[in-house]
Amino acid sequence: MRFAMALAAGLVLAPPAFGYDGIVEKQVFEMGPYTTVGGDTIAEVRVGWEAYGELNEARDNAILITHFYSGTSHAAGRYSEEGPRGYWDYLIGPGRPLDTDRFYVLSSDTLVNLNTGDPNVTTTGPASIDPATGEPYAMDFPVVTIRDFVNVQKALLESLGIERLHAVMGASMGALQTFEWASAYPEMVERVIPVIGAGAADAFLIGWLNAWAAPIRLDPNWQGGDYYGGTPPTAGLAEALKLVTLHANHWEWANASFGRAWATEGEDPAASMEHLFQFEAVLDQVAAARAAKSDANHFLYLAKANQLFLTGHGGSLAGGLAAIEAPTLLIYSDEDLIFVPEAVRETATLIRADGTPAMLVELQGERGHLDGVLSLGQVEERLRAFLEE
């Protein structure tokens, strides 16, 4: 049971090595009215961001990190001496593949970031106050897309005087943002590193995202999204996050780590509906911890943004990927249950169709989708070489 409790604290076990061993200052970018891809206007936009390393005088050494669905801009370092390290801390830092002695590595929170209860997250979304009403937007917030995430990041970069990126790199939903960056603004992107992501949300993933979101809508406290000031739909959100956690892992890891062990010694799951298997209990604990810092409406908006994703937001995947001019390094797992390897390989083929280099690197492991966050140490040398090419 101690092992289960340790996993319940985060489920994703941090890699042992670290790179950026410094205190990070979280900053806030504010911009005026923003018009979404759908044509709606958000009166005020604020997103948090952080950076590691120094921007050079030419302002051409920037690497943008784009985060995953449940992630934040906290890719490396700590906010305090005792604070948690960023999720790619082992890749970012002096002498690491994303070498902060050479590169200015920055990352921003997305619009509708899930983690509204985290004091280190700044994001505009349904939980934000609509200046026109003085109340939270709730479901009156406009639908936003991956392109909208990218457009806000572009405005942030422009405010820093950055006109070109040495690379853009991200995992999962972050990979979608890398494709969109390279397709929408090819003149700004020199290299693309999508990790565990494909060029579009296919029908099966659209269905999965619908299933992820369903428990929130079924929670009676959701109230059509109008729960601010009342009881939030925490139970539904926790069930949604449980589905995400399960889907992001792999059955090989689950079976090897937990098997059919009981959650509590002496409490046979066959003896009572209240008695659980160990893996059930872990999933419940992880989901409850994440739900306490998350917002249900933001989850729904993220699900919609991912469902809508098609590189280039045009008529075809081939057309959107054809706009990519930068060499692309696609890192994937053959055990991924979210972005299946066939979709990643198809994406690479379509990028290559117009002569753009697109290289595939496969990760080994039993964590499935999560190997794209945990296991990039396997491809450190390939990353270094790609950033040098």
Residue-level pLDDT at 14:
45
**What's the helix, strand, coil split of the chain in %, to 5?**
40, 15, 45
Look over the chain and give the mean of its residue pLDDT values, rounded to a whole number.
95
Task: Round to whole Å and give the CA distance between 29 and 123.
Answer: 10
Residue-level pLDDT at 349:
98
Fold of the domain built from segment(s) 16-202+311-388: Rossmann fold (3.40.50)
Other CB atoms closer than 10 Å to residue 312's CB: what's the count? Answer: 22
Task: Round to whole Å and give the CA distance between 207 and 196.
Answer: 18
The residue-averaged pLDDT of 257-267 equals: 97
Res. 208: pLDDT tops 70: yes
Q: What percent of the chain has pLDDT over 70?
A: 95
- DSSP conformational letter for 285: H
Taking only the tens place, the pLDDT of each residue in 270-312 is 999 999 999 999 999 999 999 999 999 999 999 999 999 999 9
Res. 8: pLDDT tops 60: no
> In the block, which residue shows the tokens 């990039």?
376
Q: Which residues are catalytic?
A: 172, 336, 369
Please give the sequence-ordered ranges of beta strands (E in DSSP) within the chain, or none if there are none.
27-31, 34-35, 41-42, 45-52, 62-66, 92-93, 98-99, 104-108, 129-130, 135-136, 167-171, 192-195, 328-333, 358-363
Task: Round to whole Å and give the CA distance between 271 and 259.
Answer: 19
Res. 6: pLDDT tops 80: no
Residue 105: which of 53, 46, 158 has the closest Cα?
A: 53
Residue-level pLDDT at 18:
59
| 3-class SS of residue 274 | coil
Taking only the tens place, the pLDDT of each residue in 210-226 is 999 999 999 999 999 99
Residue-level pLDDT at 187:
98
At 201, the pLDDT band (50, 70, 90 cuts) reads very high
Res. 132: pLDDT tops 70: yes
Which tokens in the block code for residue 203?
């029908």
Residue-level pLDDT at 21:
73
Q: Give CA separation, 155 vs 3, 34, 59, 308, 352, in Å.
A: 44, 10, 15, 22, 29
Question: What ranges do the domains of the chain cover?
Answer: 16-202+311-388, 210-296
At 1, the pLDDT band (50, 70, 90 cuts) reads very low
Taking only the tens place, the pLDDT of each residue in 14-72 is 444 556 778 999 999 999 999 999 999 999 999 999 999 999 999 999 999 999 999 99
- DSSP conformational letter for 221: G
As assigned by CATH, the class of the 210-296 domain is mainly alpha
pTM, entire model: 0.95
Res. 7: pLDDT tops 70: no
Taking only the tens place, the pLDDT of each residue in 303-354 is 999 999 999 998 899 999 999 999 999 999 999 999 999 999 999 999 999 9
Res. 11: pLDDT tops 70: no
